[in-house]
Amino acid sequence: MDIKDISVVVDLAGDRRAARAAADLAKRLDAHLTGLSLAYDPIVPGYAVAPVPADFMISARNQALKEAETAIDAFHKIAAETGIDGEAHLVDVMAGGGLDGIVHEVRLADLVVIGEDDPDHPEPVREALIEAVLFNAGAPLLIVPRQGKTTIDPSRIMIAWDGTITASRAVRAAMPFLKMARHVEVVLVDDGKKLPTGERLCGHLLRHGIESSIRKVPNPGKDVAKAIRQAAIDADAGIIVMGAYGHSRLLEWILGGATRGMLTGLALPVLMTH
């Protein structure tokens, strides 16, 4: 499937790297780009012992709307600078109401682009937003790092392969990028379990006209995410392709896991599906 419909969550502050990366990608793929700017309801701490004044809530809400509208203006400027036509929507995120609004907005997208959370410009529920898209939107997710280039380089791609259904879905979702690549490396991380065979994946890719090689990474202990990141750096990859949350979110939260580890400290863009 070609990528012809891209949605990007526009950061409310900073240099809006995700929007810039998505605009560049939309131009190269001749795809339509939709920018989504989130207006968050004020969050009242659960430990508050007194009612929050109404004028404070109104002021905080107005500030959230102003920030979201500023992000929309920035998106249109980025689109114009890139030379593409793009549309933008403001999406309300209601306190206690979940993230259904943003999920419904991206359900028809061929690709969703979100930036890594930036500690210098933190936004509410960024990790929850990423999880909501992964689990409920049905679209592949491209996470853009907060440092490094703002362009997506599909010429060299690394697939973190563990033979799971989520990894298989990620490979299918990445097929448009894989067909653009000059070099594809299939990496198997020895996490103490029986490694899947990479030959079948390489054969599958070859039937799509994609040549690839296999590399096995020694047992990294508990930090599989670190091993994946280092393997991608060693391969000089432009994109990492991997499945997300092969275990339950609860297990990943308690025990740690590759997905949670990859959501912070990104060195390059990661394409994920669940």
Strands 141-144 and 270-273: antiparallel
**Percent of the chain surpassing pLDDT 70:** 86
Residue 248 has pLDDT above 70, yes or no: no
Domain boundary among 144, 164, 190: 144
The per-residue pLDDT for 96 is 60
Is the pLDDT at 252 greater than 70? The verdict is no
Residue 149 inside a domain? The answer is: no
Do 135 and 171 have their domain in common?
no
Tell me the C-alpha to C-alpha distance, in Å, between residue 159 and each of 59, 146, 181, 271: 47, 21, 12, 10
Apex 141 CA angle, 118 and 66, nearest 5: 50
Q: How high is the pLDDT of residue 118?
A: 83
Residue type for position 50: A
User: Which among 234, 232, 236 is positioned nearest to 271, based on CA atoms?
Assistant: 232
CATH code at position 81: 3.40.50.620
| 172 part of a folded domain | yes
pLDDT confidence band for 126 (50 / 70 / 90): confident
- The reply to whether 124 and 193 lie within a common domain is no
Structure tokens at 207: 């039937």
- 166 and 131 in a common domain: no
- Phi and psi (nearest 5°) for 32? -80, 140
Q: Residue 236 pLDDT > 90, yes or no?
A: yes
Q: Is residue 151 assigned to a domain?
A: no
Domain match, 208 and 243 both: yes
Angle between helices 54-82 and 17-29 (to 10 degrees): 40
Task: Based on the fold, state whether residues 216 and 242 are members of the same structural domain.
Answer: yes
Domain membership flag for residue 150: no
Of the listed ranges 92-106, 167-181, 257-271, the one predicted with least confidence = 257-271
Of the two residues 33 and 245, the one the predictor is more confident about is 33
Q: How confident is the model at residue 44 (pLDDT cuts 50, 70, 90)?
A: low
Within this chain, do residues 254 and 132 fall inside the same structural domain, yes or no? no
Q: For the chain, how many residues are written?
A: 274
Higher pLDDT, 188 or 245: 188
Does residue 173 register a pLDDT over 70?
yes
Same domain for 96 and 17, yes or no, is yes
Q: Structurally, how many domains does the chain consist of?
A: 2
Residues 46-63 have pLDDT tens digits of 544 456 666 767 888 889
Residue with tokens 């198997």: 188
Region 191-195 average pLDDT: 71
Domain that holds residue 40: 5-144
- Is the same domain home to 187 and 252? yes
**Token pair recorded at residue 227:** 């091993």
Q: Which amino acid is at 107?
A: R
Note whether residue 138 is domain-resident.
yes
Regarding whether 230 and 185 lie in a shared domain, the answer is yes
Domain end point (choices 92, 124, 144): 144
